[in-house]
Structure 1
Amino acid sequence: MEDNLLFRIVKPDESLSGFVESFWLLHNATGKDKEIVVLPDGRVDLILSKTGTQPFHIMLSGLETLPQPVILEADTLMCAVSFKLPATELLFPNRISNLLDYAEYLPDDFWGFDQNDLLDFDNFCQKAAAKITALLPDKTDDRKLRLFQLIYADKGNLTVRQLSEAVFWNSRQINRYFTSQFGLSLKSYCNILRFRESLGHLAKGNLFPELNFADQSHFIKQVRKFSGVIPKELLKNENDRFIQFSTLLPE
């Protein structure tokens, strides 16, 4: 990653692995604004942030279905929690379906956070994990958890029919649940996960699909849809602008 554009990521303990994908920090210490493209990754992010010109604030960023050009201001500092979908239904009372390709501001003291939490990333991770653990209910819907376990384990490669049969849940009901709760169909969400998984293959220089894409043309079409460019251009990643892709590049 570009000099002084700092990124750290921490995985949660096993007890939270079904609900939290990661905790991460991003700091633009380059001294200048940077143009980046945020790629869809199937996560919902709770982000604490401040910049050289903007005061401390907290946002909840919903699922993204399109590449999002963003100006990362100089001195931007972010600490965030990336949630898997099961957590969003349990932790946030209102459905996130209205946050598709969108984000909303939360109170600056949400979950007891404040701007000092940006100064110690390890402490932020511990504080966030403790809060999430306290808020999660003792019992959850086993059928939903099993559904998401399969979705994430196979990285979006199973069909809706296969998932439906595995969890004994009607596919129409599953799609109704996904659309109502998250703002998109299960198939659309799986497409995002497959795209994201393909980034690891592209980072190794493989421009041909290794996942469950129909053919090379379909692979290129999906990469273009979610990144705005063809695989070859994504691999080049000029100026390190595709932010999630950058974290996958070999050292």
Structure 2
Amino acid sequence: MKYREIKPNGFLNNFVQCFWYYETTDTEIQHTILPDGYFDLIAEFENETLTTVKLTGIWTKPKDIQISKNAKFFAIRFKLLAIEYIFRKEIKSILDSIVNLPFSFWSIDKYKTDEFEKFTSEISNNLETSIKLLKPIDSRKLKLFDFVYEQKNKSVPIEIELRNEPWGDRHFAIKDPNDIGIDIVTYTESE
């Protein structure tokens, strides 16, 4: 088994946690995915052939998965801000589920299994270009998402921390569970 991550640079870091690569050998592997507050775009290859392109939602409970032998994965682990600005959808539509995408999504079907660095570089460049064309992002929203991810790594409950911050309940949609399908307190405790 091989696993590696490449972290994004610059402003893209607000949308992408990392690009990751996973490879199995000649044995099937059983894994349990633990909720981590991110969602992934995954390209799965079996025996050097692209077999699946999918978008996973935010998992709210552990999920057991079986990974085939001789499988390789190219993936992007996204932060919540990407839901609205890159995918233009609500995460609740894929919460605790998987949405299969066409192989041609973001031209993923052009990559070979030994081109992870090329995949990372080209997708990063395309995302950075797309982000530049977006409507301006409220700096308070960027700060809120940074704050949420920082709190996931602390032991202080976020509801206590939010009381000490300058934003109120109606400032950002993330505070409304109807938008993402999970409230902010539950989200930050999903580890």
TM-score normalised by the shorter chain: which range applies?
0.7 to 0.9
TM-score of the pair, normalised by structure 1:
0.68
Name the structure where strand makes up a greater proportion of residues.
Answer: 2
1:109 aligns with 104
Distance 1:40 1:100 in 2: 11
Q: Deviations over 1:200-225 (max 9, x none)?
A: xxxxxxxxxxxxxxxxxxxxxxxxxx
Letter in structure 2 aligned against 1:125: T
1:162 aligns with 161
Q: Is the 8 A contact 1:89 1:181 kept in 2?
A: no
1:153 aligns with 150
2:83 aligns with 88
1:189 aligns with 187
Distance 2:129 2:173 in 1: 30
2:33 aligns with 38
Note the residue ranges of structure 1 that are not aligned, 5 or more in a row.
196-251
Q: Is the 8 A contact 1:61 1:102 kept in 2?
A: yes
* Greater Cα radius of gyration, structure 1 or 2: 1
Identity among equivalent pairs (%): 26
Letter in structure 1 aligned against 2:136: K
The secondary structure found in structure 1 opposite 2:60 is coil
The secondary structure found in structure 2 opposite 1:79 is strand
Distance 2:112 2:144 in 1: 34
User: Shift of the alpha carbon at 1:105?
Assistant: 0.6
Name the structure where helix makes up a greater proportion of residues.
Answer: 1
Q: Deviations over 1:152-179 (max 9, x none)?
A: 1232645235325514222x66577441
Letter in structure 1 aligned against 2:142: L
Note the residue ranges of structure 2 that are not aligned, 5 or more in a row.
none
Letter in structure 2 aligned against 1:145: L
Cα distance change, pair 119–54 in 1 and its aligned pair in 2 (3 A): closer
The secondary structure found in structure 2 opposite 1:87 is helix
TM-score of the pair, normalised by structure 2:
0.87
2:9 aligns with 13
Q: Is the 8 A contact 1:117 1:123 kept in 2?
A: no
1:142 aligns with 139
Q: Is the 8 A contact 1:47 1:79 kept in 2?
A: yes
Distance 1:18 1:175 in 2: 17
Q: Deviations over 1:49-82 (max 9, x none)?
A: 1224985321011100111111110111100010
Matched, 1:119 2:114: yes
In the alignment of these two chains, the number of paired residues is: 187
